[in-house]
């Protein structure tokens, strides 16, 4: 059994027991081939929560700081991560992301960028849809409800609260020869924003939170 499978089994088992994770819509996740997983982002724990939707290894970009310690570097790499320099055009990270998709693996990209707060999905970066359009693979939106209340940005001790993960319908890339146009990537991103807000609302309700709270 691979290091990833062992780590996944241990981490997800703990999450399921501690946070009573509920998952809806896993049948919408492609069973084979590459795709871009696009979750809402309210906690660093969204990384393992997103892994509930598939048994396949999910590769993901993580902030470079997570790799600063030897233990962190080994742990995040074993879990499928690779570092990215936030706030810059990190060509190395983009190249790694493209290589992941070209190899047929799922790639998780948080389209809101860094962790956010509150019930509203913030303005999305176009990176998730750009990578999907370039590789001609679908974007799978995921709403994760309740993670902010467990371990929000700035907190170090988690609280035991219910979490729900809801998967939406895949958003397909433009269907034509040649590279996707900027306007098409922008349109995909607008659609992703709307889908992600609906899924986030549903996930929060499933986790027991009232609308607007």
Question: Is the residue at 64 inside a domain?
Answer: yes
- For residue 144, count other CB atoms closer than 10 A to its CB: 26
pTM of the complete model: 0.88
Task: Please check whether residue 140 is in contact with residue 28, taking contact to mean a CB–CB distance below 8 angstroms.
Answer: yes
List the one residue out of 131, 150, 118 whose CA is nearest residue 49.
Answer: 150
Task: Please check whether residue 40 is in contact with residue 201, taking contact to mean a CB–CB distance below 8 angstroms.
Answer: no
Task: Please check whether residue 206 is in contact with residue 149, taking contact to mean a CB–CB distance below 8 angstroms.
Answer: no
Question: Is the residue at 39 inside a domain?
Answer: yes
For residues 44, 50, 52, 56, the Cα torsion angle rounded to the nearest 10 degrees is -120
Question: Is the residue at 187 inside a domain?
Answer: yes
Domain containing residue 186: 3-206
Domains: count for the chain: 1
Question: Is the residue at 212 inside a domain?
Answer: no
Q: Length of the chain in residues, anyone?
A: 213
pLDDT digits (tens, 9 = 90+) for 124-143: 999 999 999 999 999 999 99
Any idea what the CATH number is for the domain that residue 102 is in? 3.40.1130.10
Question: Is the residue at 213 inside a domain?
Answer: no
Report the C-alpha gap between 1 and 24 in whole angstroms: 27
pLDDT digits (tens, 9 = 90+) for 15-47: 999 999 999 999 999 999 999 999 999 998 898
Alpha helix positions (H), 86-161 = 91-102, 127-135, 147-150
Question: Is the residue at 211 inside a domain?
Answer: no
Question: Is the residue at 53 inside a domain?
Answer: yes
pLDDT digits (tens, 9 = 90+) for 88-112: 556 777 888 999 999 999 999 999 9
Q: In 3-state terms, what secondary structure has residue 24? A: strand
Q: For the residues 186-206, what does the mean pLDDT come to?
A: 97
Question: Is the residue at 47 inside a domain?
Answer: yes
Reported as a pLDDT band with limits 50, 70 and 90, residue 1 is very low
């Amino acid at each position: 059994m691979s290091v990833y499978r062992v780590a996944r089994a241990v981490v997800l088992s703990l999450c399921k027991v501690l946070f009573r994770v509920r998952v809806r819509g896993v049948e919408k996740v492609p069973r084979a081939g590459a795709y871009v997983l696009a979750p809402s982002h309210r906690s660093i724990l969204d990384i393992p929560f997103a892994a509930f939707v598939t048994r396949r290894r999910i590769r993901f970009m993580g902030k470079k700081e997570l790799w600063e310690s030897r233990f962190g570097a080994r742990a995040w790499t074993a879990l499928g991560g690779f570092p990215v320099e936030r706030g810059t055009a990190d060509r190395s990270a983009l190249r790694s992301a493209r290589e992941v998709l070209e190899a047929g693996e799922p790639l998780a990209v948080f389209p809101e960028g860094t962790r956010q707060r509150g019930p509203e999905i913030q303005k999305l970066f176009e990176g998730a849809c750009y990578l999907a359009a370039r590789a001609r693979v679908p974007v799978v939106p995921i709403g994760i409800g309740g993670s902010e209340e467990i371990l929000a940005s700035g907190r170090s001790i988690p609280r035991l609260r219910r979490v729900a993960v809801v998967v939406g319908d895949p958003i397909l890339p433009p269907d034509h020869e040649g590279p996707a146009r900027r306007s098409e990537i922008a349109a995909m991103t607008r659609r992703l924003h709307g889908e992600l807000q609906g899924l986030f609302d549903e996930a929060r309700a499933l986790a027991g939170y009232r609308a607007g709270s």
